[in-house]
A and B are shown apart, each in its own frame.
Chain A
Amino acid sequence: MRTRRVFAHVGLTVGALIMLYPLLWMITASLRPNTEIFTDAGLVPEHPTLGNYALGWHSTGVNFGVYIANSLIICTAVVIGNVLTCSLTAYAFARLKFVGRKTLFALMLATIMLPGHVTLIAQYSIFRNLNWIDTFWPMIVPSFLATDAFFVFLMVQFIRSIPVELDDAARIDGCGAWGIYRRIILPLLSPALVTTAIFSFIWTWNNFFSQLIYLSTRTKLTVPVALRGFLDATGSSEWGALFAMSVVTLVPVVVVFVVFQRRILAGMAHTGLK
Protein backbone atom coordinates (compact mmCIF):
# COMPACT_ATOMS: atom_id res chain seq x y z
CA MET A 1 0.00 0.00 0.00
CA ARG A 2 2.81 2.30 0.94
CA THR A 3 4.84 1.68 -2.21
CA ARG A 4 1.64 2.30 -4.16
CA ARG A 5 1.36 5.74 -2.59
CA VAL A 6 4.98 6.52 -3.39
CA PHE A 7 4.34 5.46 -6.98
CA ALA A 8 1.26 7.67 -7.15
CA HIS A 9 3.22 10.65 -5.82
CA VAL A 10 6.09 10.09 -8.23
CA GLY A 11 3.68 9.76 -11.13
CA LEU A 12 1.71 12.86 -10.20
CA THR A 13 4.85 14.93 -9.66
CA VAL A 14 6.34 13.87 -12.98
CA GLY A 15 3.00 14.61 -14.63
CA ALA A 16 2.87 18.08 -13.08
CA LEU A 17 6.43 18.77 -14.20
CA ILE A 18 5.62 17.79 -17.79
CA MET A 19 2.54 20.01 -17.68
CA LEU A 20 4.39 22.99 -16.31
CA TYR A 21 7.59 22.48 -18.29
CA PRO A 22 6.55 24.77 -21.19
CA LEU A 23 5.79 27.59 -18.75
CA LEU A 24 9.02 27.15 -16.80
CA TRP A 25 10.98 26.94 -20.05
CA MET A 26 9.43 30.21 -21.21
CA ILE A 27 10.53 31.95 -18.01
CA THR A 28 14.08 30.65 -18.49
CA ALA A 29 14.04 31.57 -22.17
CA SER A 30 13.10 35.13 -21.25
CA LEU A 31 16.32 35.31 -19.21
CA ARG A 32 18.56 34.00 -22.00
CA PRO A 33 20.34 35.76 -24.84
CA ASN A 34 18.56 35.11 -28.17
CA THR A 35 21.32 32.84 -29.44
CA GLU A 36 20.85 30.36 -26.61
CA ILE A 37 17.06 30.13 -26.52
CA PHE A 38 16.31 27.32 -28.92
CA THR A 39 19.53 25.45 -28.40
CA ASP A 40 18.89 24.81 -24.74
CA ALA A 41 15.98 22.77 -23.46
CA GLY A 42 17.17 23.04 -19.86
CA LEU A 43 15.63 25.21 -17.21
CA VAL A 44 18.76 27.03 -15.98
CA PRO A 45 20.09 29.86 -18.16
CA GLU A 46 23.85 29.75 -18.61
CA HIS A 47 24.25 33.49 -18.97
CA PRO A 48 21.21 34.93 -17.23
CA THR A 49 20.29 38.46 -18.32
CA LEU A 50 17.42 40.87 -17.88
CA GLY A 51 18.25 42.45 -21.24
CA ASN A 52 15.19 40.90 -22.90
CA TYR A 53 12.92 42.66 -20.44
CA ALA A 54 14.50 46.06 -21.06
CA LEU A 55 14.42 45.45 -24.82
CA GLY A 56 10.84 44.15 -24.92
CA TRP A 57 9.52 46.97 -22.77
CA HIS A 58 10.49 49.57 -25.38
CA SER A 59 10.75 47.71 -28.67
CA THR A 60 7.20 48.17 -30.02
CA GLY A 61 7.62 51.95 -30.19
CA VAL A 62 5.19 52.35 -27.30
CA ASN A 63 6.20 51.76 -23.73
CA PHE A 64 4.81 48.34 -22.70
CA GLY A 65 3.52 50.00 -19.54
CA VAL A 66 0.93 51.80 -21.69
CA TYR A 67 -0.57 48.46 -22.78
CA ILE A 68 -0.60 47.26 -19.19
CA ALA A 69 -2.29 50.47 -18.06
CA ASN A 70 -4.92 50.11 -20.80
CA SER A 71 -5.61 46.52 -19.79
CA LEU A 72 -5.83 47.52 -16.14
CA ILE A 73 -8.29 50.35 -16.88
CA ILE A 74 -10.59 47.99 -18.78
CA CYS A 75 -10.25 45.20 -16.21
CA THR A 76 -10.97 47.52 -13.28
CA ALA A 77 -14.05 48.95 -14.97
CA VAL A 78 -15.35 45.48 -15.88
CA VAL A 79 -14.83 44.21 -12.33
CA ILE A 80 -16.76 47.18 -10.90
CA GLY A 81 -19.50 46.89 -13.51
CA ASN A 82 -20.02 43.16 -13.02
CA VAL A 83 -19.99 43.28 -9.22
CA LEU A 84 -22.42 46.18 -9.15
CA THR A 85 -24.99 45.37 -11.81
CA CYS A 86 -24.92 41.56 -11.57
CA SER A 87 -25.65 41.81 -7.84
CA LEU A 88 -28.57 44.22 -8.45
CA THR A 89 -29.97 41.83 -11.04
CA ALA A 90 -29.42 38.75 -8.91
CA TYR A 91 -31.13 40.36 -5.93
CA ALA A 92 -34.19 41.18 -8.03
CA PHE A 93 -34.42 37.62 -9.38
CA ALA A 94 -33.78 35.93 -6.05
CA ARG A 95 -35.88 38.07 -3.73
CA LEU A 96 -38.27 40.53 -5.37
CA LYS A 97 -41.68 39.77 -6.85
CA PHE A 98 -42.59 41.29 -10.17
CA VAL A 99 -44.75 40.53 -13.16
CA GLY A 100 -42.94 38.31 -15.68
CA ARG A 101 -40.26 37.13 -13.29
CA LYS A 102 -40.25 33.53 -14.46
CA THR A 103 -40.02 34.46 -18.12
CA LEU A 104 -37.25 36.96 -17.58
CA PHE A 105 -35.35 34.51 -15.39
CA ALA A 106 -35.56 31.88 -18.12
CA LEU A 107 -34.32 34.47 -20.62
CA MET A 108 -31.37 35.26 -18.33
CA LEU A 109 -30.49 31.56 -18.04
CA ALA A 110 -30.72 31.13 -21.81
CA THR A 111 -28.18 33.90 -22.40
CA ILE A 112 -25.55 32.08 -20.31
CA MET A 113 -24.90 29.51 -23.02
CA LEU A 114 -25.47 31.83 -25.96
CA PRO A 115 -22.43 31.96 -28.27
CA GLY A 116 -21.36 35.59 -28.52
CA HIS A 117 -21.08 35.34 -32.30
CA VAL A 118 -24.84 35.70 -32.85
CA THR A 119 -24.75 39.16 -31.34
CA LEU A 120 -21.28 40.12 -32.55
CA ILE A 121 -22.03 41.57 -35.99
CA ALA A 122 -24.98 43.67 -34.82
CA GLN A 123 -23.15 44.83 -31.69
CA TYR A 124 -20.23 45.92 -33.83
CA SER A 125 -22.52 47.87 -36.09
CA ILE A 126 -24.30 49.48 -33.10
CA PHE A 127 -21.03 50.46 -31.43
CA ARG A 128 -19.80 51.81 -34.74
CA ASN A 129 -22.86 54.05 -34.99
CA LEU A 130 -22.14 55.29 -31.47
CA ASN A 131 -18.57 56.12 -32.59
CA TRP A 132 -17.20 53.67 -30.05
CA ILE A 133 -14.79 51.89 -32.39
CA ASP A 134 -11.21 52.25 -31.17
CA THR A 135 -12.37 53.19 -27.67
CA PHE A 136 -12.64 51.14 -24.47
CA TRP A 137 -16.44 51.51 -24.31
CA PRO A 138 -17.35 48.29 -26.19
CA MET A 139 -15.40 46.34 -23.55
CA ILE A 140 -16.65 48.31 -20.54
CA VAL A 141 -20.31 49.27 -21.12
CA PRO A 142 -21.68 45.70 -21.41
CA SER A 143 -20.36 44.89 -17.93
CA PHE A 144 -22.39 47.79 -16.49
CA LEU A 145 -25.50 46.25 -18.07
CA ALA A 146 -25.09 42.88 -16.36
CA THR A 147 -24.59 41.08 -19.66
CA ASP A 148 -22.46 38.33 -18.13
CA ALA A 149 -25.34 36.14 -17.00
CA PHE A 150 -22.99 33.56 -15.56
CA PHE A 151 -22.25 35.89 -12.65
CA VAL A 152 -25.92 36.75 -12.22
CA PHE A 153 -26.70 33.05 -11.94
CA LEU A 154 -23.84 32.49 -9.50
CA MET A 155 -25.16 35.29 -7.27
CA VAL A 156 -28.80 34.16 -7.51
CA GLN A 157 -27.74 30.74 -6.25
CA PHE A 158 -25.81 32.36 -3.43
CA ILE A 159 -28.60 34.75 -2.38
CA ARG A 160 -31.05 31.83 -2.24
CA SER A 161 -28.89 30.29 0.48
CA ILE A 162 -29.21 33.44 2.64
CA PRO A 163 -32.14 32.99 5.10
CA VAL A 164 -35.19 35.04 4.10
CA GLU A 165 -35.82 35.71 7.80
CA LEU A 166 -33.01 38.26 7.67
CA ASP A 167 -34.90 40.19 4.97
CA ASP A 168 -38.09 40.02 7.06
CA ALA A 169 -36.31 41.29 10.16
CA ALA A 170 -34.85 44.21 8.20
CA ARG A 171 -38.26 44.98 6.72
CA ILE A 172 -39.78 45.16 10.20
CA ASP A 173 -36.98 47.55 11.12
CA GLY A 174 -38.13 49.78 8.28
CA CYS A 175 -35.83 48.77 5.44
CA GLY A 176 -37.15 48.90 1.88
CA ALA A 177 -35.89 46.77 -0.99
CA TRP A 178 -32.83 48.99 -1.40
CA GLY A 179 -32.04 48.90 2.33
CA ILE A 180 -32.25 45.11 2.38
CA TYR A 181 -30.01 44.86 -0.68
CA ARG A 182 -27.52 47.33 0.70
CA ARG A 183 -27.36 46.24 4.35
CA ILE A 184 -28.26 42.54 4.36
CA ILE A 185 -27.68 40.95 0.97
CA LEU A 186 -24.58 42.78 -0.25
CA PRO A 187 -22.44 42.12 2.86
CA LEU A 188 -23.47 38.44 3.03
CA LEU A 189 -22.95 38.05 -0.70
CA SER A 190 -19.31 39.09 -0.50
CA PRO A 191 -17.82 35.62 -1.21
CA ALA A 192 -19.75 35.49 -4.49
CA LEU A 193 -18.76 39.09 -5.23
CA VAL A 194 -15.10 38.23 -4.73
CA THR A 195 -15.43 35.19 -7.02
CA THR A 196 -17.08 37.40 -9.63
CA ALA A 197 -14.37 40.02 -9.32
CA ILE A 198 -11.58 37.48 -9.69
CA PHE A 199 -13.03 35.78 -12.75
CA SER A 200 -13.99 39.11 -14.33
CA PHE A 201 -10.41 40.24 -13.94
CA ILE A 202 -8.79 37.08 -15.31
CA TRP A 203 -11.17 36.70 -18.26
CA THR A 204 -10.94 40.35 -19.24
CA TRP A 205 -7.17 40.37 -18.89
CA ASN A 206 -6.92 37.33 -21.19
CA ASN A 207 -9.75 38.33 -23.51
CA PHE A 208 -8.42 38.71 -27.02
CA PHE A 209 -11.31 38.71 -29.45
CA SER A 210 -13.20 41.90 -28.63
CA GLN A 211 -10.01 43.83 -27.96
CA LEU A 212 -8.75 42.66 -31.35
CA ILE A 213 -11.79 43.83 -33.27
CA TYR A 214 -12.42 47.08 -31.41
CA LEU A 215 -8.95 48.53 -30.76
CA SER A 216 -6.52 49.69 -33.42
CA THR A 217 -4.56 52.80 -32.37
CA ARG A 218 -1.25 51.61 -30.97
CA THR A 219 -1.46 53.69 -27.78
CA LYS A 220 -4.91 52.27 -27.05
CA LEU A 221 -3.92 48.62 -27.39
CA THR A 222 -4.22 46.23 -24.49
CA VAL A 223 -1.75 43.58 -23.44
CA PRO A 224 -3.06 40.64 -25.55
CA VAL A 225 -3.39 42.70 -28.74
CA ALA A 226 0.00 44.33 -28.25
CA LEU A 227 1.57 40.92 -27.73
CA ARG A 228 0.04 39.59 -30.94
CA GLY A 229 1.64 42.32 -33.01
CA PHE A 230 4.88 42.20 -31.07
CA LEU A 231 7.05 40.45 -33.64
CA ASP A 232 5.60 42.54 -36.50
CA ALA A 233 6.18 45.73 -34.55
CA THR A 234 9.76 44.91 -33.69
CA GLY A 235 10.33 43.65 -37.22
CA SER A 236 12.69 40.96 -36.08
CA SER A 237 12.95 37.62 -34.38
CA GLU A 238 13.34 38.93 -30.89
CA TRP A 239 12.07 35.76 -29.26
CA GLY A 240 13.73 36.58 -25.96
CA ALA A 241 12.02 39.95 -25.74
CA LEU A 242 8.71 38.38 -26.78
CA PHE A 243 8.98 35.74 -24.06
CA ALA A 244 9.95 38.42 -21.54
CA MET A 245 6.81 40.41 -22.29
CA SER A 246 4.73 37.22 -22.34
CA VAL A 247 5.94 36.48 -18.83
CA VAL A 248 5.05 40.05 -17.80
CA THR A 249 1.50 39.58 -19.09
CA LEU A 250 1.03 36.26 -17.30
CA VAL A 251 2.32 37.48 -13.94
CA PRO A 252 -0.86 39.34 -12.84
CA VAL A 253 -3.01 36.28 -13.51
CA VAL A 254 -0.62 34.01 -11.62
CA VAL A 255 -0.50 36.46 -8.70
CA VAL A 256 -4.30 36.62 -8.53
CA PHE A 257 -4.41 32.83 -8.68
CA VAL A 258 -1.86 32.34 -5.90
CA VAL A 259 -3.60 34.85 -3.62
CA PHE A 260 -7.16 33.66 -4.27
CA GLN A 261 -6.45 30.03 -5.11
CA ARG A 262 -8.94 28.49 -2.69
CA ARG A 263 -11.73 30.79 -3.76
CA ILE A 264 -11.06 30.29 -7.48
CA LEU A 265 -11.05 26.50 -7.23
CA ALA A 266 -14.11 26.49 -4.95
CA GLY A 267 -15.92 28.83 -7.34
CA MET A 268 -15.07 26.55 -10.26
CA ALA A 269 -16.22 23.49 -8.44
CA HIS A 270 -19.57 25.05 -7.55
CA THR A 271 -20.49 26.59 -10.83
CA GLY A 272 -18.37 24.93 -13.45
CA LEU A 273 -16.81 28.20 -14.46
CA LYS A 274 -13.87 27.76 -16.76
Chain B
Amino acid sequence: MSRSAADSFGTRLRQSVPGYLFLLPWLIGVLGLTVGPMVLSLYYSFTDYALFNTPAWTGLHNYTALFHDARYLHSLRVTFLYVAVSVPLEMTFALAIAVLLNRGLRGLAVYRALYYVPSLLGGSVAIALLWQQIFGSDGLLNHVLSLFGIEGHGWISEPGTALWTLIVLRVWQFGAPMVIFLAGLRQIPEDVMEAAEMDGANKWQRFWRVTLPLLSPVVFFNLVLQIIGAFQAFTPAYIISGGKGGPSDSTLFYTLYLYQQAFGNFRMGYAAAMAWVLLLIIAVFTGLNFVLGRTWVFYGDEGVRR
Protein backbone atom coordinates (compact mmCIF):
# COMPACT_ATOMS: atom_id res chain seq x y z
CA MET B 1 0.00 0.00 0.00
CA SER B 2 1.43 3.38 -0.93
CA ARG B 3 1.85 6.04 1.65
CA SER B 4 -0.88 8.29 0.31
CA ALA B 5 -3.36 5.41 0.25
CA ALA B 6 -2.58 4.67 3.89
CA ASP B 7 -2.98 8.34 4.68
CA SER B 8 -6.29 8.58 2.93
CA PHE B 9 -7.50 5.48 4.75
CA GLY B 10 -6.46 7.14 7.99
CA THR B 11 -8.32 10.28 6.97
CA ARG B 12 -11.39 8.28 6.06
CA LEU B 13 -11.24 6.52 9.40
CA ARG B 14 -10.99 9.87 11.18
CA GLN B 15 -13.96 11.15 9.20
CA SER B 16 -15.83 8.01 10.19
CA VAL B 17 -15.86 8.92 13.87
CA PRO B 18 -19.22 10.76 13.93
CA GLY B 19 -20.84 7.89 12.01
CA TYR B 20 -19.56 5.30 14.46
CA LEU B 21 -20.68 7.43 17.39
CA PHE B 22 -24.22 7.54 16.04
CA LEU B 23 -24.05 3.82 15.37
CA LEU B 24 -22.72 2.99 18.82
CA PRO B 25 -25.96 1.69 20.39
CA TRP B 26 -26.72 -0.41 17.31
CA LEU B 27 -23.15 -1.73 17.12
CA ILE B 28 -23.28 -2.85 20.74
CA GLY B 29 -26.69 -4.41 20.10
CA VAL B 30 -25.81 -6.19 16.90
CA LEU B 31 -22.60 -7.60 18.35
CA GLY B 32 -23.83 -8.30 21.89
CA LEU B 33 -27.42 -9.37 21.21
CA THR B 34 -27.44 -10.69 17.64
CA VAL B 35 -24.13 -11.82 16.13
CA GLY B 36 -22.55 -12.83 19.45
CA PRO B 37 -25.54 -14.87 20.63
CA MET B 38 -25.86 -16.46 17.17
CA VAL B 39 -22.30 -17.70 17.35
CA LEU B 40 -22.76 -18.74 20.96
CA SER B 41 -25.97 -20.60 20.07
CA LEU B 42 -24.14 -22.36 17.27
CA TYR B 43 -21.49 -23.43 19.78
CA TYR B 44 -24.13 -24.60 22.27
CA SER B 45 -25.74 -26.65 19.52
CA PHE B 46 -22.61 -28.83 19.46
CA THR B 47 -22.65 -29.30 23.23
CA ASP B 48 -24.59 -30.81 26.06
CA TYR B 49 -25.69 -27.71 27.92
CA ALA B 50 -28.32 -27.52 30.66
CA LEU B 51 -27.86 -23.89 31.70
CA PHE B 52 -26.37 -24.89 35.07
CA ASN B 53 -23.33 -26.75 33.78
CA THR B 54 -20.42 -25.81 31.57
CA PRO B 55 -21.28 -26.89 28.04
CA ALA B 56 -19.68 -30.25 27.18
CA TRP B 57 -18.69 -30.74 23.55
CA THR B 58 -20.66 -33.51 21.89
CA GLY B 59 -19.99 -32.73 18.23
CA LEU B 60 -22.88 -33.36 15.88
CA HIS B 61 -24.77 -35.43 18.42
CA ASN B 62 -27.64 -32.95 18.90
CA TYR B 63 -28.19 -32.75 15.17
CA THR B 64 -28.18 -36.48 14.59
CA ALA B 65 -30.41 -36.96 17.63
CA LEU B 66 -32.99 -34.65 16.02
CA PHE B 67 -33.53 -37.11 13.21
CA HIS B 68 -34.21 -39.93 15.65
CA ASP B 69 -36.53 -37.87 17.81
CA ALA B 70 -40.05 -38.89 16.83
CA ARG B 71 -41.62 -35.89 18.56
CA TYR B 72 -39.28 -33.54 16.73
CA LEU B 73 -40.11 -35.07 13.37
CA HIS B 74 -43.77 -34.89 14.30
CA SER B 75 -43.44 -31.20 15.18
CA LEU B 76 -41.93 -30.63 11.74
CA ARG B 77 -44.91 -32.30 10.09
CA VAL B 78 -47.37 -30.27 12.15
CA THR B 79 -45.59 -27.02 11.33
CA PHE B 80 -45.32 -27.78 7.61
CA LEU B 81 -49.00 -28.67 7.44
CA TYR B 82 -49.87 -25.46 9.27
CA VAL B 83 -47.76 -23.31 6.92
CA ALA B 84 -48.86 -25.13 3.77
CA VAL B 85 -52.58 -24.80 4.52
CA SER B 86 -52.89 -21.50 6.34
CA VAL B 87 -50.65 -19.28 4.22
CA PRO B 88 -52.32 -19.94 0.83
CA LEU B 89 -55.78 -19.64 2.40
CA GLU B 90 -54.88 -16.41 4.14
CA MET B 91 -53.37 -14.98 0.94
CA THR B 92 -56.41 -15.97 -1.15
CA PHE B 93 -58.83 -14.27 1.24
CA ALA B 94 -56.59 -11.21 1.44
CA LEU B 95 -56.36 -10.87 -2.34
CA ALA B 96 -60.05 -11.56 -2.98
CA ILE B 97 -61.29 -8.99 -0.48
CA ALA B 98 -58.66 -6.46 -1.57
CA VAL B 99 -59.76 -6.75 -5.22
CA LEU B 100 -63.40 -6.44 -4.16
CA LEU B 101 -62.62 -3.35 -2.07
CA ASN B 102 -60.55 -1.75 -4.80
CA ARG B 103 -63.49 -1.22 -7.14
CA GLY B 104 -64.10 2.29 -5.91
CA LEU B 105 -66.76 1.29 -3.41
CA ARG B 106 -67.78 3.86 -0.87
CA GLY B 107 -66.69 3.21 2.67
CA LEU B 108 -63.42 1.56 1.65
CA ALA B 109 -61.63 3.01 4.67
CA VAL B 110 -64.24 1.61 7.06
CA TYR B 111 -64.18 -1.90 5.56
CA ARG B 112 -60.39 -1.89 5.47
CA ALA B 113 -60.21 -0.94 9.14
CA LEU B 114 -62.83 -3.54 10.17
CA TYR B 115 -61.12 -6.37 8.28
CA TYR B 116 -57.79 -5.34 9.76
CA VAL B 117 -58.93 -5.53 13.41
CA PRO B 118 -58.38 -9.33 13.71
CA SER B 119 -54.76 -8.91 12.54
CA LEU B 120 -54.27 -6.27 15.19
CA LEU B 121 -55.45 -8.46 18.05
CA GLY B 122 -55.06 -11.99 16.70
CA GLY B 123 -51.57 -12.64 18.05
CA SER B 124 -52.54 -11.85 21.63
CA VAL B 125 -53.06 -14.26 24.49
CA ALA B 126 -56.59 -12.91 24.97
CA ILE B 127 -57.67 -14.01 21.50
CA ALA B 128 -56.01 -17.42 21.84
CA LEU B 129 -57.96 -17.91 25.08
CA LEU B 130 -61.13 -16.82 23.30
CA TRP B 131 -60.43 -19.40 20.59
CA GLN B 132 -59.94 -22.06 23.23
CA GLN B 133 -63.40 -21.29 24.59
CA ILE B 134 -65.16 -20.93 21.23
CA PHE B 135 -63.90 -24.30 19.96
CA GLY B 136 -64.05 -26.10 23.31
CA SER B 137 -66.44 -29.00 23.91
CA ASP B 138 -68.85 -26.72 25.78
CA GLY B 139 -67.92 -23.77 23.66
CA LEU B 140 -69.77 -21.32 21.50
CA LEU B 141 -69.41 -23.19 18.20
CA ASN B 142 -70.96 -26.37 19.55
CA HIS B 143 -73.77 -24.34 21.06
CA VAL B 144 -74.50 -22.67 17.73
CA LEU B 145 -74.34 -26.06 15.96
CA SER B 146 -76.77 -27.53 18.48
CA LEU B 147 -79.28 -24.82 17.56
CA PHE B 148 -79.30 -26.36 14.10
CA GLY B 149 -79.53 -29.85 15.53
CA ILE B 150 -75.93 -30.69 14.65
CA GLU B 151 -74.03 -32.71 17.19
CA GLY B 152 -71.00 -30.98 18.66
CA HIS B 153 -67.40 -32.05 18.49
CA GLY B 154 -64.40 -31.48 20.76
CA TRP B 155 -62.65 -29.29 18.22
CA ILE B 156 -59.67 -28.64 20.45
CA SER B 157 -59.72 -31.78 22.56
CA GLU B 158 -59.54 -34.12 19.57
CA PRO B 159 -56.28 -34.50 17.65
CA GLY B 160 -58.01 -34.60 14.27
CA THR B 161 -59.30 -31.03 14.48
CA ALA B 162 -57.13 -29.14 16.99
CA LEU B 163 -54.60 -27.93 14.41
CA TRP B 164 -57.43 -26.74 12.19
CA THR B 165 -58.65 -24.34 14.86
CA LEU B 166 -55.17 -22.77 14.75
CA ILE B 167 -55.32 -22.61 10.97
CA VAL B 168 -58.68 -20.86 11.19
CA LEU B 169 -57.17 -18.42 13.68
CA ARG B 170 -54.39 -17.52 11.24
CA VAL B 171 -56.65 -17.23 8.23
CA TRP B 172 -58.92 -15.00 10.32
CA GLN B 173 -56.03 -12.52 10.34
CA PHE B 174 -55.93 -12.02 6.57
CA GLY B 175 -56.38 -8.25 7.07
CA ALA B 176 -52.65 -7.55 7.28
CA PRO B 177 -51.72 -8.93 3.82
CA MET B 178 -54.99 -7.45 2.52
CA VAL B 179 -53.87 -3.93 3.44
CA ILE B 180 -50.61 -4.49 1.58
CA PHE B 181 -52.50 -5.86 -1.46
CA LEU B 182 -54.76 -2.81 -1.44
CA ALA B 183 -51.77 -0.50 -1.50
CA GLY B 184 -50.36 -2.52 -4.42
CA LEU B 185 -53.64 -2.44 -6.33
CA ARG B 186 -53.71 1.34 -6.12
CA GLN B 187 -50.39 1.48 -7.95
CA ILE B 188 -51.87 -0.17 -11.03
CA PRO B 189 -52.46 2.61 -13.56
CA GLU B 190 -56.08 3.02 -14.66
CA ASP B 191 -55.19 3.42 -18.33
CA VAL B 192 -53.77 -0.10 -18.41
CA MET B 193 -57.12 -1.41 -17.19
CA GLU B 194 -59.03 0.73 -19.64
CA ALA B 195 -56.84 -0.44 -22.50
CA ALA B 196 -57.51 -4.05 -21.58
CA GLU B 197 -61.22 -3.33 -21.38
CA MET B 198 -61.20 -1.72 -24.83
CA ASP B 199 -59.40 -4.73 -26.20
CA GLY B 200 -62.43 -6.70 -25.11
CA ALA B 201 -60.97 -8.43 -22.05
CA ASN B 202 -63.68 -9.52 -19.65
CA LYS B 203 -63.39 -9.26 -15.88
CA TRP B 204 -61.73 -12.61 -15.37
CA GLN B 205 -59.26 -12.00 -18.15
CA ARG B 206 -58.47 -8.58 -16.75
CA PHE B 207 -57.83 -10.08 -13.35
CA TRP B 208 -55.66 -12.96 -14.56
CA ARG B 209 -53.85 -11.18 -17.39
CA VAL B 210 -53.48 -7.63 -16.07
CA THR B 211 -54.11 -7.25 -12.35
CA LEU B 212 -52.35 -10.36 -11.14
CA PRO B 213 -49.13 -9.95 -13.19
CA LEU B 214 -48.86 -6.30 -12.20
CA LEU B 215 -49.51 -7.20 -8.58
CA SER B 216 -47.13 -10.16 -8.56
CA PRO B 217 -44.26 -8.36 -6.76
CA VAL B 218 -46.66 -7.58 -3.91
CA VAL B 219 -47.96 -11.16 -3.91
CA PHE B 220 -44.37 -12.33 -3.71
CA PHE B 221 -43.52 -9.95 -0.88
CA ASN B 222 -46.59 -11.05 1.12
CA LEU B 223 -45.86 -14.71 0.48
CA VAL B 224 -42.28 -14.48 1.75
CA LEU B 225 -43.37 -12.51 4.81
CA GLN B 226 -46.28 -14.82 5.69
CA ILE B 227 -44.26 -18.02 5.29
CA ILE B 228 -41.49 -16.72 7.53
CA GLY B 229 -44.07 -15.61 10.09
CA ALA B 230 -46.08 -18.84 10.01
CA PHE B 231 -43.02 -21.00 10.62
CA GLN B 232 -42.43 -19.10 13.84
CA ALA B 233 -46.00 -19.16 15.20
CA PHE B 234 -46.04 -19.91 18.90
CA THR B 235 -48.57 -18.12 21.11
CA PRO B 236 -51.83 -19.67 19.83
CA ALA B 237 -50.49 -23.23 19.99
CA TYR B 238 -49.04 -22.64 23.43
CA ILE B 239 -52.25 -21.17 24.84
CA ILE B 240 -54.73 -23.53 23.19
CA SER B 241 -52.80 -26.63 24.25
CA GLY B 242 -51.85 -25.27 27.66
CA GLY B 243 -48.17 -25.29 26.67
CA LYS B 244 -48.17 -29.01 25.85
CA GLY B 245 -48.83 -29.11 22.12
CA GLY B 246 -51.60 -31.63 22.58
CA PRO B 247 -53.90 -33.42 22.16
CA SER B 248 -51.58 -36.23 21.00
CA ASP B 249 -49.01 -33.61 19.94
CA SER B 250 -51.36 -32.45 17.20
CA THR B 251 -50.55 -28.78 17.86
CA LEU B 252 -46.87 -29.28 18.66
CA PHE B 253 -45.45 -26.44 16.62
CA TYR B 254 -41.72 -26.35 15.98
CA THR B 255 -41.25 -23.34 18.22
CA LEU B 256 -43.36 -24.91 20.95
CA TYR B 257 -41.24 -28.05 20.99
CA LEU B 258 -38.14 -25.88 21.04
CA TYR B 259 -39.57 -24.01 24.02
CA GLN B 260 -40.35 -27.26 25.84
CA GLN B 261 -36.84 -28.60 25.29
CA ALA B 262 -35.16 -25.34 26.32
CA PHE B 263 -37.27 -24.17 29.22
CA GLY B 264 -39.07 -27.32 30.28
CA ASN B 265 -36.20 -29.84 30.08
CA PHE B 266 -33.32 -27.35 30.04
CA ARG B 267 -31.80 -29.12 27.05
CA MET B 268 -30.30 -25.86 25.86
CA GLY B 269 -27.82 -27.43 23.44
CA TYR B 270 -30.56 -29.48 21.81
CA ALA B 271 -32.84 -26.45 21.57
CA ALA B 272 -30.00 -24.41 20.04
CA ALA B 273 -29.58 -27.09 17.38
CA MET B 274 -33.32 -26.92 16.71
CA ALA B 275 -33.07 -23.15 16.34
CA TRP B 276 -30.28 -23.43 13.79
CA VAL B 277 -32.21 -26.02 11.79
CA LEU B 278 -35.22 -23.69 11.87
CA LEU B 279 -33.06 -20.88 10.51
CA LEU B 280 -31.89 -23.22 7.72
CA ILE B 281 -35.45 -24.27 6.89
CA ILE B 282 -36.63 -20.66 6.71
CA ALA B 283 -33.57 -19.68 4.65
CA VAL B 284 -34.19 -22.54 2.20
CA PHE B 285 -37.86 -21.63 1.83
CA THR B 286 -37.05 -17.97 1.33
CA GLY B 287 -34.34 -18.85 -1.19
CA LEU B 288 -36.72 -21.21 -2.98
CA ASN B 289 -39.28 -18.43 -3.10
CA PHE B 290 -36.77 -16.14 -4.76
CA VAL B 291 -35.72 -18.76 -7.32
CA LEU B 292 -39.29 -19.75 -8.15
CA GLY B 293 -40.29 -16.10 -8.04
CA ARG B 294 -38.29 -15.47 -11.20
CA THR B 295 -40.76 -17.53 -13.16
CA TRP B 296 -43.86 -15.70 -12.06
CA VAL B 297 -42.99 -12.33 -10.54
CA PHE B 298 -43.38 -9.58 -13.10
CA TYR B 299 -41.40 -6.39 -12.73
CA GLY B 300 -43.17 -3.87 -14.93
CA ASP B 301 -40.24 -1.53 -15.49
CA GLU B 302 -38.33 -4.23 -17.32
CA GLY B 303 -41.17 -4.79 -19.71
CA VAL B 304 -40.54 -8.52 -19.97
CA ARG B 305 -41.30 -11.55 -17.94
CA ARG B 306 -38.16 -12.61 -16.18
Contact = CB atoms under 8 A, between A and B. Distances in A.
A22 B131 CA distance: 9
Interface residues of A, number: 85
Interface of A is mostly: helix
Interface stretch (A44-52, A115-123, A160-168, A186-194): A115-123
Interface in A101-154: 101, 104, 107-108, 111, 113-126, 128, 142, 144-147, 152
Interface of B: 9, 12-13, 15-20, 22-23, 25-26, 28-30, 32-41, 44, 51, 97, 100-101, 103, 105, 107, 111-121, 123-127, 129-131, 133-134, 138-140, 143-144, 147, 172, 176, 179-180, 182-183, 221-222, 225, 228-229, 231-232, 234-235, 238-239, 255, 258-259, 262-263, 268, 271-272, 274-276, 278-279, 282, 286
B119 to A, nearest CB: 7
Nearest to A232: B242
Interface stretch (A5-13, A58-66, A72-80): A5-13
Most buried by A among B117, B118, B222: B117
Contacts, number: 254
Given A98-B16, A118-B41, A261-B113, A9 B275 contact: no
Contact of B22 (A119, A181, A225, A247): A181
Contact of A145 (B26, B37, B120, B123): B26
A98 B38 contact: no
A224 B118 contact: no
B239 A97 contact: no
Contacts of B113: 257, 261, 265
Contact of B107 (A9, A113, A177, A272): A9
B121 A253 contact: yes
A41 interface: yes
Contact of A12 (B111, B123, B130): B111
B32 A145 contact: yes
B220 to A, nearest CB: 11
Interface string A223-251: 11101101000000001001100110110
29 contacts: A19-B117, A19-B118, A41-B144, A89-B26, A108-B26, A108-B30, A115-B232, A117-B232, A117-B274, A119-B33, A120-B271, A120-B275, A121-B268, A122-B37, A122-B44, A125-B40, A142-B33, A144-B25, A145-B28, A206-B123, A208-B234, A227-B126, A228-B129, A261-B113, A268-B179, A268-B180, A269-B179, A269-B183, A272-B225
A212 B234 CA distance: 12
A145 B271 CA distance: 26
Nearest to B169: A22
A246 to B, nearest CB: 4
Given A19-B114, A118-B278, 19 more contacts: A5-B105, A8-B100, A8-B103, A38-B140, A92-B23, A107-B30, A113-B228, A115-B275, A118-B38, A121-B40, A208-B238, A225-B125, A228-B129, A239-B133, A246-B130, A250-B121, A254-B120, A272-B180, A272-B222
A195 to B, nearest CB: 14
A146 B29 contact: yes
A27 B100 CA distance: 29
Contacts of B36: 122
Contact of B38 (A20, A119, A269): A119
A209 B268 CA distance: 17
Nearest to B15: A97
B18 to A, nearest CB: 4
Contacts of A270: 183
Contact of A177 (B22, B114, B139): B22
A259 interface: no
A98 to B, nearest CB: 3
Contacts of B139: 38
Mostly helix, strand, loop or mixed at chain B's interface? helix
A89 B179 contact: no
A209 B180 contact: no
A55 interface: no
A53 interface: no
A178 B44 CA distance: 41
B23 A111 contact: no
A46 B51 CA distance: 54
A26 B111 CA distance: 21
Contacts of B9: 99
Contacts of B282: 113, 115
B38 A228 contact: no
B117 A269 contact: no
A92 B107 CA distance: 42
Interface in A9-49: 9, 11-12, 15-16, 19-20, 22-23, 25-26, 38-39, 41
Contacts of A213: 259, 263
A27 to B, nearest CB: 11
A41 B30 CA distance: 50
